[in-house]
Amino acid sequence: MGRLAIAARRLRRPSEPSPPPAPFVVGVGRSGTTLLRLMLDAHPELAIPPETGFVPDVIRACRRARARPSAVVALLREQRSWGDFDLDEAALERRFAAAGRLDATAALRAFYGLYADGQGKPRWGDKTPAYVKRMPMIERALPEARFVHVIRDGRDVALSRRRRALREPAPPERVAEKWRKRILGAREQARRVAHYTEVRYEDLVTDTEATLRRVAAAVELDWDPAMLHHHERAPERLAEISRDLPAKGRKAERPGAERATAHALAAEPPKAERIAAWRERMPEPDRAAFERVAGDLLAELGYETGGGRTAGVG
């Protein structure tokens, strides 16, 4: 299996000063995005906050004429993730006001910049899996965005999602449908963004340095071995999500203890035993149901299926 599949398309843009590249880690939930976030965040120049989730809302709000700094701050304060960032609202509003005309670009750069300053770092990124569905939209607002799509064997994703379910877990065929749709959708969107990189979770675990070096190169980040020791600072970084996440809309409340437990493995050094756990832990009927829906994509990505088929990875 190839370590890293990179598809980068560079569009010509006006020759104007712009921020350094900003990695946006995306993918299907439970695919290893938190692990990559912690590894990148361990770099002395890069800060990646907990999942934001509000970037599309900010973009839409700032499309309205003369978005007011106080209104954008109010929008952020209403987000259930807001408490994770420990930001001073007044300081953020001052940054918004200093931007002059407050469009989505200025608002988002001000938010991320304030967070990075709080971490004592000059660069920032994002890790929100669901942005895999909004890549062109985000790139239009933030041309510096470089999307890093983490892909993991969907059967291991299904097992992980089942362990974290607060309600009756979705049947394997539904998880398979979502996994397949998200990956194929991301690859279709990749044709419409300037920078898109695919990373296999399995490579991140078994060939960590080589994979991280390629990711760092894709986002123009100098190599630093601190990324290999992410676990040393991980408990401190994950403490940001130790609070209860309130319910909102169709999203259920997530207790802080559950959030911490769900990401505990990402705070440890990579372990190969986390790969292909489905072989031992997934009931045969569930495996068969998953593969009926997504077996073709599993094989295309090079993962073994029930019939033993594998395919080369591009």
pLDDT over 70 for what percent of the chain? Answer: 90
What single DSSP character describes residue 51? P
Range of the domain at 23: 19-48+125-238+258-314
Q: 118 with 141, same domain?
A: no
Asked if residue 2 is part of any domain, the answer here is no
User: How distant, in Å, are the alpha carbons of 29, 142, 160 from that of 132?
Assistant: 10, 15, 19
Asked if residue 179 is part of any domain, the answer here is yes
Q: 105 with 151, same domain?
A: no
Query: pLDDT value at position 287?
Result: 96
Overall number of domains in the chain: 2
- Band the pLDDT of 12: cuts 50, 70, 90: very low
Nearest-angstrom CA–CA distance, 124 and 122: 7
pLDDT digits (tens, 9 = 90+) for 156-201: 999 998 876 556 778 999 999 999 999 999 999 999 999 999 999 9
pLDDT digits (tens, 9 = 90+) for 28-73: 999 999 999 999 999 999 999 999 999 999 999 998 766 899 999 9
User: What kind and span of H or E run contains 90?
Assistant: helix 89-98
Which has the higher per-residue pLDDT, 9 or 140? 140
Q: 194 with 71, same domain?
A: no
* Last-in-domain residue among 122, 145, 175: 122
pLDDT digits (tens, 9 = 90+) for 257-272: 888 888 888 989 998 9
Q: 275 with 205, same domain?
A: yes
CATH number at 182 reads 3.40.50.300
Name the burial class of residue 288, with classes exposed (0-12), middle (13-18) and buried (19+) by CB atoms within 10 angstroms of its CB. Answer: middle
* Ramachandran quadrant class, 30 (left: phi over 0; alpha: psi -120 to 50; beta: rest): left
What's the average model confidence in pLDDT over 63-85? Answer: 91
Query: pLDDT value at position 10?
Result: 37
Which has the higher per-residue pLDDT, 256 or 148? 148
Query: pLDDT value at position 251?
Result: 84
pLDDT digits (tens, 9 = 90+) for 97-128: 999 889 999 999 999 999 999 999 999 999 99
Q: Which residue, among 104, 51, 103, has the nearest Cα to 79 in the 3D structure? A: 51
pLDDT > 50? residue 302 = yes
* Last-in-domain residue among 122, 143, 159: 122
Query: pLDDT value at position 261?
Result: 80
Query: pLDDT value at position 248?
Result: 87
User: How distant, in Å, are the alpha carbons of 113, 150, 151, 236 from that of 127?
Assistant: 15, 11, 14, 17
pLDDT > 70? residue 133 = yes
Nearest-angstrom CA–CA distance, 69 and 107: 8
Question: Is the dihedral angle over the CA atoms 127, 130, 131, 135 positive or is it negative?
Answer: positive
pLDDT > 70? residue 1 = no
Query: pLDDT value at position 67?
Result: 86
Query: pLDDT value at position 165?
Result: 57
Q: Kindly report the length of the chain.
A: 314
Q: 169 with 286, same domain?
A: yes
Asked if residue 269 is part of any domain, the answer here is yes
pLDDT digits (tens, 9 = 90+) for 212-260: 999 999 999 999 999 999 999 999 999 999 899 888 888 888 888 888 8
pLDDT > 80? residue 17 = no
What's the average model confidence in pLDDT over 5-33? Answer: 71
Residues 6+ apart with CB under 8 A from 19: 109, 123, 144
What SS3 class is residue 40?
helix
Query: pLDDT value at position 167?
Result: 64
Query: pLDDT value at position 65?
Result: 62
Mean pLDDT for the chain?
A: 90
pLDDT > 80? residue 6 = no
* Last-in-domain residue among 122, 142, 174: 122
Residues 6+ apart with CB under 8 A from 30: 152, 157, 160, 161, 164
Q: Which residue, among 139, 233, 279, 275, has the nearest Cα to 224 in the 3D structure? A: 233
Nearest-angstrom CA–CA distance, 260 and 240: 9
- The model's pTM is 0.90
Asked if residue 243 is part of any domain, the answer here is no
